[in-house]
Amino acid sequence: MLKKFIRKIAENKNLTQEEMTEAMEIIMEGKTNDIQISSFITALKMKGETADEIAAAARVMKEKAIKIKIDSDIILDTCGTGGDGFNTFNISTASAIVCAAAGIKVAKHGNKALTSRCGSADILKAAGVNTEATPEKVKKLVEEINIGFIFAPNYHPAMKYAMPARKEIGIRTIFNLLGPIVNPANNTHHLMGVPDDKLVDKISEVFLKLGLKRGLVVCGNGCLDEIAPSGKSRIAEIKDGKIIKYEIKVSDFGVKEYKIEDIKGGTPEENAKILQDIFTGKEKGAYYSSVILNAGFAIYICDKAKDAKQGVKIAIDIISSGKAKEKLEQLIKASNN
């Protein structure tokens, strides 16, 4: 049971990787109860989860997941934490489609909306994509058309033991951080947004511990889980086994600045319409700017561009040429066949 770990955390002591592994296995194997799980994840939250604790928990979740083996040296995910409270349009999902159209293998991990009105599964379903693909189907989609969607609840059956406790306490916990970093396709590259500046360093350390090849952990204006459409965005880049930290401004990339309010999302149907408008050239404002910026950085870390500026230019070309629109249509058709 979890009592010994709860006691240690309550004394403001960090768990070792071995202790965290044992605790997560107890949770994921249904060997405890909701009260202890609630106490454990709340105590962890109050103490502050360490990179070692998050990495150890992620390894257990990955081990318990239904795995997808994709034959590629580069597998990208753009899944972020969500939960920044701004209810923005699904920028990471749109960016994933642009990256796939740029020739990158994308295994997009995601879920239905938890804190916003529209999650990645919601917008794709509204656009006509089959979001309930089997592991075999996702593998085929990624290998043949460069993109497949992995609906998280279908691939993490052991999470059923933690869900009641998570729902009851209703606060962000370690599981909100774990969701994006436990892709069942074992992605090699990741652009991950986090809603708090303090998480940029922590999650980049976690990625390093988990052996990610290339990655970017980003936070816009200290509060947005995307590269922001205005002001500064803080970035930690994982490259060659090291973490490089820097800040960027939208103006550095020749992209027009917009307020965060300008990228607010709506219902799944409204967001699917925005997605179509971006890809058909009808939308050239805030949504478009945010997508080309985030997609550009993802293209850069996948070695399709020498730097992020070139990545943004490639993203612009992908959309203006109609390739992003074609890729979405391809995904809709192939996922339903």
Average pLDDT over residues 168-182: 93
The whole-angstrom separation of Cα 100 and Cα 80 is 17
**Per-residue model confidence as pLDDT tens digits over 309-328:** 999 999 999 999 999 999 99
Whether 151 shows a pLDDT value over 90: the answer reads: yes
pLDDT at residue 214, rounded to an integer: 98
The whole-angstrom separation of Cα 216 and Cα 301 is 8
pLDDT at residue 179, rounded to an integer: 94
More confident residue, 282 or 84: 282
pLDDT at residue 84, rounded to an integer: 76
**φ/ψ (deg, to 5) at 30:** 70, 30
Enter the DSSP assignment of 241: T
At residue 114 the predicted structure's pLDDT band, cuts being 50, 70 and 90, is confident
Environment class of 251 (CB within 10 Å of its CB; exposed 0-12, middle 13-18, buried 19+): exposed
Question: Among the listed ranges 83-87, 109-113, 235-239, which one has the minimum average pLDDT value?
Answer: 83-87
At residue 120 the predicted structure's pLDDT band, cuts being 50, 70 and 90, is very high
Average pLDDT over residues 161-180: 93
Of the CA atoms within 13 Å of residue 82, those in its CB half-sphere come to 27
Query: Which tokens sit at 58?
Result: 């992620």
Whether 46 shows a pLDDT value over 90: the answer reads: yes
Contact 299, 314 (CB under 8 A): yes
More confident residue, 105 or 171: 105
Smallest CA-to-CA distance from 281 within 229, 329, 324, 320 is with 320
Average pLDDT over residues 79-105: 94
pLDDT at residue 117, rounded to an integer: 86
Average pLDDT over residues 200-217: 98
The whole-angstrom separation of Cα 189 and Cα 206 is 14
Mean pLDDT, all residues of the chain: 97
Domains present along the chain, CATH in parentheses: 3-64 (1.20.970.10), 76-156+172-336 (3.40.1030.10)
Contact 158, 29 (CB under 8 A): yes
Share of residues in the chain with pLDDT > 70 (%): 100
Query: Which tokens sit at 226?
Result: 């995307």
Q: Is 235 helix (H, G, I), strand (E, B) or coil?
A: strand
pLDDT at residue 176, rounded to an integer: 92
pLDDT at residue 116, rounded to an integer: 74
- How many residues are there in the chain? 337
**Per-residue model confidence as pLDDT tens digits over 272-307:** 999 999 999 999 999 999 999 999 999 999 999 999
Contact 53, 178 (CB under 8 A): no
pLDDT at residue 85, rounded to an integer: 82
**φ/ψ (deg, to 5) at 217:** -110, 125
pLDDT at residue 167, rounded to an integer: 87
pLDDT at residue 303, rounded to an integer: 97
Average pLDDT over residues 17-27: 99
pLDDT at residue 5, rounded to an integer: 99
Q: For the beta carbon of residue 302, count every other beta carbon within 10 angstroms.
A: 23
Scanning the chain, the segments in alpha helix (DSSP H) are: 3-10, 17-28, 34-47, 51-64, 91-101, 120-127, 135-145, 152-155, 163-169, 174-181, 197-210, 268-280, 286-301, 308-320, 323-336
Only one residue has tokens 């938890």, namely: 114
pLDDT at residue 115, rounded to an integer: 66
